[in-house]
Structure 1
Amino acid sequence: MSPQYENMTFIEKDCGNFIDKVRRLRLGKEDATAIHIYFEKNNNQSPGFYFSIDYDEDGRLKNIFWADKRCRLAYKEFGDVVTFDTTYLTNNYDMPFSPFLGVNNHGQSTLLGCGLIAGEDTDTFVWLFQTCLDCMENQPPKESCLKSLGITKKKDSIFKDIHNYVYESLNPEEFVQSWFATGDKYNLHENDCESMNAFFDGYVHSKTNLTQFVEQYERALSSKLEKEFQADFHSYSQLIPCVSAYDIEKQFQASYTMDKFREF
């Protein structure tokens, strides 16, 4: 006789847990050993390099977080507001990459830390956020979402909408739909920074394994740093003229980068 569905005990949560376990098993013993050697090498050769590896109950590699010295220094300078995104490589490459991002003094996205995680459950995110906080000397971001919205008259309304769909969305699709609806409602689509898509495109693909990924990450980061150096050079070698005779504008001209003074 065929089993009756009502008598089966394999519920949806069990299915999700099983899928997460299978995903963790993709990170084989060779990958785990290679990645640990790679991070130990960086830790010994690069002062300020930080990494943490989380293992499951069977000793298999499950979650990873790392940040080099540049990322940690960037956090001290630009960690007022930190964004976190797991959608880029998860959607495109089935690799749950989890970058922590800030915005530098040129208005560019800057990398503050990286994670590779086995799943998107509560325990995993608690581990990841706590590990990131430990790495950054237990200094949380200084600003809340509400403060980071600036002086716009609509910020209270925007924050209320964000709060509603963060806590009331019943599934990811509803959250994404609400997110874009907020952008339409308040005309926020033009307020963007360089995304992680632009950051990693051309460096990783569907066949990239774990060890190759962290090596390609370094190449992508070097390219990103070159763009930041170019922005620094242009900012210090060029001057935007003042539009008034007020001394305070001259003070901003001397203190701000070219990009931020142009906004001012």
Structure 2
Amino acid sequence: MTASQATEVDLAEESGIPLRLAYKFINKQAGGRESLGYFKQDQKNYLRTVRQKRMAYEEVGVLLQYFSKQILENPSFFYELHLDKEEQITNIFWADAKMIIDYSHFGDVVSFDTTYKVNELDRPFAVFVGFNHHKEIVVFGAALMYDETAASFSWLFKTFLKAMSSKAPRTIFTDQDPVMAKAILEVMPQTYHRLSLWHLMQNACKNLNTLFRGEEGVHNALTTKFDHIEEESEFAAAWYSMLDEYDAHENDWLATTFKIRKKWAYAYVRSAWSIGIRSAQISESFNARLKNYLKSDLNIVQFFTNFERVLTDTRYKEWEAEYDLQFRIAHVKFDIKMLKQAREVYTKAIFKLFQDQFEESIELSITKCVADGDDFVYTVKLDDKSKKHKVKKEGISTVSCNCRLFEMKGILCSHAIKVLREAILNNI
């Protein structure tokens, strides 16, 4: 193989192109196999030799080489190794400059997940992810963990905060792992810890299949409790009614889950900032991407090469969204000044959410208005069967609604929009 052919083979592997397809492409480019000058086995042998050379210093040496190279290219790159009593590496955390910058802008809400496993030992691959202003996934940090003990999680969360200038997230989503919960409470006591509804439902299906007569019965019994009831008293009444209906007062899983209801029940979590997320859906979506890149047979060099491809593809979606925002105007459904102003302020993804709320507000009615000193409290509802919402208007332009959509998501709800528009039309 010539030096240029070797370079082509290296680029193909770094791009994730399988050996068979890479060989076909290169021999097509050369004008046929007879013009290529080497066989597929030669390509395979070359790649094997390269991998062996890269792994000459074993895994630890390769890791240190990789991190040293990253720091040379960008001094803001951060990494830390966790050593055990015998000076053996147990956990590894890293974050590049882009991750740190993204966290400074979008790190209020973080989803942390360790369900994805890498290599033949099923080592947990932990990622801190979130959403940016285009509702696209951003990665804040990553770790390879050799175990999932309280000490390891505690070290990992402390290291994460160290990399992020001690700024803790306002809300963090995780699965229902008590060890992880203990570490979060210890390291980030002011952070609101929320549980992934998807993981909760999976655990419910495992533990309550018999009680609720199959997975469909589990979903029917719990979906409303998990994700819809707004008031705490209403939630408690519905929960105890469910226990009576299924004679489940002695069920240990339900009792344990009820004790931590402030981490998952909508009636409680709606008081915390969450950018509208109700599950660890960001992590689940990111894990789906990882499956296309990271396989269990990768060595440490291949792992980092492929993880960088994941990052590149993930960040490219943000660039696409930025381009779309600059050169394609968001469609406004109604010729209304409020919508036109919102279009100028929001990204397309956020404007769509606002416009949806505006559209809902058109169907609403204000049924009551009560003066409260200099303020006014409005009762807003869709029809006689729908839930009533109270919107308080203070001064000229300050409103708050008991649905708390703005406090959770940062988007004005349809009830508040209805009151604001009414006030504008009536010069109140």
Question: Counterparts of 1:262 and 1:109 in 2: how far apart (Å)?
Answer: 18
Is 1:197 aligned to 2:287, yes or no? yes
Amino acid in structure 2 at the alignment position of 1:207: D
Q: Does structure 1 retain, via aligned residues, the 8 Å contact 2:118–2:296?
A: no
Is 1:130 aligned to 2:158, yes or no? yes
Give TM-score scaled by structure 1 length: 0.70
Moved more, 111-120 or 204-213: 204-213
Structure 1 residue runs of 5 or longer lacking an equivalent are 1-27, 170-174, 183-187
Distance change in 2, residues 1:52/1:156 (3 Å): farther
Match of 1:70 in 2: 98
Match of 1:50 in 2: 78
Q: Which has the greater radius of gyration?
A: 2
Tell me the C-alpha RMSD between the 2 structures. Answer: 3.7
Using the TM superposition, give the Cα deviation of residue 47 of structure 1 relative to its aligned residue in structure 2, in angstroms: 3.1
Using the TM superposition, give the Cα deviation of residue 199 of structure 1 relative to its aligned residue in structure 2, in angstroms: 2.4
- Residue correspondence of structure 1 range 16-35 to structure 2 within 5 A: 30-35=58-63
Question: Counterparts of 2:110 and 2:347 in 1: how far apart (Å)?
Answer: 21
Match of 2:256 in 1: 168
Match of 1:213 in 2: 303
- Residue correspondence of structure 1 range 30-109 to structure 2 within 5 A: 30-89=58-117, 94-109=122-137
Using the TM superposition, give the Cα deviation of residue 189 of structure 1 relative to its aligned residue in structure 2, in angstroms: 8.8
Distance change in 2, residues 1:85/1:167 (3 Å): farther
Using the TM superposition, give the Cα deviation of residue 100 of structure 1 relative to its aligned residue in structure 2, in angstroms: 0.2
Is 1:112 aligned to 2:202, yes or no? no
Distance change in 2, residues 1:116/1:262 (3 Å): same
Q: Does structure 1 retain, via aligned residues, the 8 Å contact 2:136–2:317?
A: no
The structure showing larger relative contact order (alpha-carbon pairs under 8 Å, at least 6 residues apart) is 1
Please give the secondary structure, in 1, of the residue aligned with 2:123: coil
Amino acid in structure 1 at the alignment position of 2:82: D
Query: Greater share of strand residues, 1 or 2?
Result: 2
Identity among equivalent positions (%) equals 31
Distance change in 2, residues 1:68/1:127 (3 Å): same
- Residue correspondence of structure 1 range 253-264 to structure 2 within 5 A: 253-264=343-354
Q: Does structure 1 retain, via aligned residues, the 8 Å contact 2:294–2:303?
A: yes
Question: Counterparts of 1:126 and 1:209 in 2: how far apart (Å)?
Answer: 27
Q: Does structure 1 retain, via aligned residues, the 8 Å contact 2:120–2:297?
A: no
Question: Counterparts of 2:130 and 2:91 in 1: how far apart (Å)?
Answer: 22
Using the TM superposition, give the Cα deviation of residue 253 of structure 1 relative to its aligned residue in structure 2, in angstroms: 0.6
Distance change in 2, residues 1:191/1:120 (3 Å): closer
Deviations 1:204-245 (A, max 9, x none): 211112232122111111111112211211122111233445
- Residue correspondence of structure 1 range 150-161 to structure 2 within 5 A: 154=229
Amino acid in structure 2 at the alignment position of 1:67: A
Distance change in 2, residues 1:226/1:92 (3 Å): farther
Amino acid in structure 2 at the alignment position of 1:74: D
Give TM-score scaled by structure 2 length: 0.45
Please give the secondary structure, in 2, of the residue aligned with 1:203: coil
Deviations 1:24-76 (A, max 9, x none): xxxx9710111011101101211321100111111211110000011011101
